Structure 1
Amino acid sequence: MKAQREEIRQRLVFIDRTIFHAVRACHSDDSVPSELKECVRRMRQRSAQAQHALRSFDERGVRETVDDLARISDEAQHRLHPADGMNYELKSAVILTHIELSALQYQLA
């Protein structure tokens, strides 16, 4: 179980890092729609809660926050529009976050 917890922790740290890149990209680009900025803000908040739940040995809390994160990242991904001029850093951070969260959900199932 300790090895699994460490792997989950590492995945959450990576996910948090990709969300941070999305946050930074949102702040550096005034053309990002407010709905997408809100999704990124909520992902940042839930990511911190997931890490707190893991540190607290709250297995149910980790699953719930990861599930919430996956839903929010899905919403964010749907707000990306391939044809618009939105910056690449934001698009890639949102997509990578979604992929990693899907993998983590599968691992936690």
Structure 2
Amino acid sequence: MKVHQQEILNRLAFIDRTIIHAAKACHHDENVPMELRNCVFRLRQRSRQAQQALRARDESRVRQSIDDLTRISDEAQHRLHPSDGMTYALKSAVILTHIELSALQYRLA
């Protein structure tokens, strides 16, 4: 990997925290559509898998996990709408997750 493993681990830890914020916001906001809840749930699962792959030093699984996370975060971001009544906390967590994943994916390219 061109990017140092510790940098990836740090970035994934930060991304995981943003996903946790999104999950908590989903839990506390009854206006969240089920499709977005599912995206956040999938992000949480895939984030764990990415961290496991990194600890196992499995480069192909790390890259695949980050690609999957980026795709799911893109899907989640497209489910946000200005007038949907969801909280700022949820929207900002989803957007920040997507930005961070896109940046990490770019660094790994």
Runs of 4+ more than 6 Å apart: none
Q: 1:85 deviation in Å?
A: 1.3
Following superposition of structure 1 onto structure 2, how do residues 79-98 of structure 1 map, counting pairs within 5 Å? 79-98=79-98
Matched, 1:49 2:21: no
Share of identical aligned residues, percent?
70
CA RMSD of aligned residues (A): 1.0
**Which structure 2 segments of 5+ residues have no match?**
none
Give me the whole-angstrom Cα distance separating, in 2, the residues matched to 1:50 and 1:28.
Answer: 26
TM-score (norm 1): 0.96
> In structure 2, what is the equivalent of residue 22 of structure 1?
22
Q: 1:83 deviation in Å?
A: 1.6
Matched, 1:107 2:93: no
Amino acid at match of 2:72: I
> In structure 2, what is the equivalent of residue 36 of structure 1?
36
Amino acid at match of 2:28: S
TM-score (norm 2): 0.96
Give me the whole-angstrom Cα distance separating, in 2, the residues matched to 1:84 and 1:56.
Answer: 41
**Which structure 1 segments of 5+ residues have no match?**
none
Equivalent pairs counted in the alignment come to: 108
Q: 1:31 deviation in Å?
A: 1.0
Give me the whole-angstrom Cα distance separating, in 2, the residues matched to 1:83 and 1:53.
Answer: 38
> In structure 1, what is the equivalent of residue 12 of structure 2?
12
Q: 1:84 deviation in Å?
A: 2.0
